[in-house]
Structure 1
Amino acid sequence: MTQTSEPDQSRTPATEWTVRGSDRDEFPEVARVVGEALLAPETAEERLESIRPLIDAHGYDRILVATDGDEVVGAVNAFPFEMTMPGGPRPVAGVTGVGVWPTHRRRGVLSALMRRQLRDLRDRGESLAALWASEGGIYGRFGYGAASMEAELTVAQPHSALIPDAPRDPALTLRLLGAEEARDQVAEVFRRQAPAQIGRFQREEVWWDRALKDTRDARGDRSALKVALVSDADGPVGYALYRTRAEYGQAGWYSELRVNELVAATPAARVALYDHVFNRDLVARVVVENTAVDDPLWNLLADRQRIGAVPITALWMRLVDVPAALVGRSYAAPVETVVEVADRYAPWNAGRWRIKADEDGAGVELTDDAPDLSLDVSHLGAAFLGQHTLAARVAAGVVTEHTPGAAARLDAALRVPHAPVCGMIF
């Protein structure tokens, strides 16, 4: 997760700050700075204990710090993910741990960190970066675009019936297990399904530690974590991770069942999981977190108007290396266009790029030809996952279309069959 405050360019220039790499010995100070910036509720020691396993697993060599003399006043990190993009899994830098010490806000600290990190990522050969933003008004200036939305869906009883022809397979079996009991099977289902779902990243053991954490603090006022595991003759094909909260009033039980994650390899496995959570006794409402905006539940519930949906902005995408990022992506339709890109923080991306692509691949090269579109690199990031369109940004007046229909044609090429979902804040 990331946070910081917007730099004020009228004050200390970013170039005056010292930005350098860090190491394991300095990490307690990094954790202190980031925790304070994020208003973390735990003590510095507690935060250090909770996040150190993630850094141990991914390494300390990607952490950057900004210093004022000997004092660490800002930090940024990036996990080396294998994340599914349009066209399949590829390396993506998962930017995280961003923070500026409160006394050094609006003085260019973040600008210095962002510039250096983008250079480092490019030098590593990583053409894409992604992040979750705890404050949405910041990262556009650094070239990130809000690329995906996810939704929390709520269905209250008695409106949870699925359509009569929902696919059901009587050969499937469903077991209710504890988190650790089902860990290996859940991880295997996810490992197989992640490459088919744009936005998912493969999880190492430390990420499963986090997803399946079942301490008293993790539970809050809810039950222990439960795992509904669906299997066929060959093994597990789906799971739902959920907790319940028992509540009773004058009208009787009005308990809640909250699904943290639901992953299924087949439509029938998904229906079996929805049948299970919607038919638990004493449950008055079911909440499904972290769903794609086109989650199959919209087409499975008999009365879709009974779904309460709360959308959230999920992944922000950044094209670190514009030609490499665009060449590595798949395309749904042929397109040839010239895009003029502005990029304040990664000047190697600035210029006019001819994109020539079809279902078999793409070529991207610099050109002197007149542009069909002019835009900031952040708008390419917002459109990269195929959920948001450039045409909508033309209509908003933030992307300039020089050739009528150019945005729509590029949007058609960038289209993906299903909305992205990441489902885990990093």
Structure 2
Amino acid sequence: MRLQLIGLGEADLAAVRAAAPRIRPKLPAIVEAFYDRLLAVPELRRIIETHRGVDALKRTLHRHLEEMLAGVIDDAYLARRQAIAQAHVRIGLPSPWYLASFQVLLSEIQAALAGDPVREAAEADRATLAFAKLFNLEMQLVIERYDRDRETLQEATLREKRAIAKRLNELSEHLLALAEETSASLQALKEEGANLLAVGEETAALGTLVAGHARGGVEALEAHGRHLQAAAVAFGDLADRANELMSISERIDGVVQLIRGVAEQTNLLALNAAIEAARAGEAGRGFSVVAGEIKKLADQTKAQLASVTELIETTKAHIAAMQSLTEATESRIADGDASLRSVADDLKDLADRADRQSARTTELEATLRRFEAMLEDIAQASGGVAAEAERLNETARQLTGA
């Protein structure tokens, strides 16, 4: 049908076969001139250099023109032309450039035929017209291939648009659900953050209170320790006095022992004097009286010394007991002072820890406030996500409508 429409018949094919001997030797020059003109166009040069080398394309075009010069149109010829058209569609060659290339070839062939003698001008014109019909046929095949691929592309594009719209719709629904879940989670996090902030404030206040009480306890213990130290000093003085009293008692005891010795010697002398007075008879009577008085005085002295000795021993026992009690008290005061120092150190450590805890709690409060601000930013971003999801949904509907 298309051959009849453009008037391409056997006479035209015969004219092509008749012109073939004159054109075939010029095919290399025609091919070179054709690609020189194509490569002068930057877009065409990019397409050619991207997909195939120029030499391979030149060989393909030479073979293509040889088949045309054979002047035979059959199913195999048409199939090869459709395959070439499909290859050009596949590499993305725009149809205007492809159709223009036929005019370039026709011009080169027409120039090759123009050098014939005048008497053969009519044959050249018939051959030129026949080549024009052949190129017209190939242009029809190209346009058909481009139309068919364009329809296929349109269908594929429509399917892709529908698939994209479906994915966009699913994505928008997922984003909306995610935004709602995020909003609920953020609200729960904000509430938990508020609770943690309240707990942190209470903890900080409690830490400050504990630190204050601990420092007060330290001060009280230090004061009590000072009192204990003063008492220890006093007991130390008392021990020194007791030691002095013991020393004095021992010296007094020595004096008493000395007096006792003198009294015993005096008593012995009085006894000897009485014996001698007795021997003297009446002459020693007066001396006997004196000796008796001396003995009586010695006996009284010994009796008093016994009483004094008893008092000294009692005093020494009391002093020893006081020394023992003083030593025990000093030991207990030392132990109590050590215990107080240990408790004071513990309280100081507790106060320091309370201060550090209070500082960390303050830092935690600041972190929670920053976290709260971040949650607010995330909530706003979540709202933006929901809005974007709505716009995606609208875009999906527009794609589906398109």
User: Normalised by the shorter chain, which TM-score bucket?
Assistant: under 0.3
> Comparing both structures, which one devotes a greater share of its residues to helix?
2
TM-score, reference length from structure 1: 0.19
| Structure of higher RCO (CA pairs closer than 8 Å, 6+ residues apart) | 2
Structure that is richer in strand per residue: 1
Q: Normalised by the size of structure 2, how large is the TM-score? A: 0.20
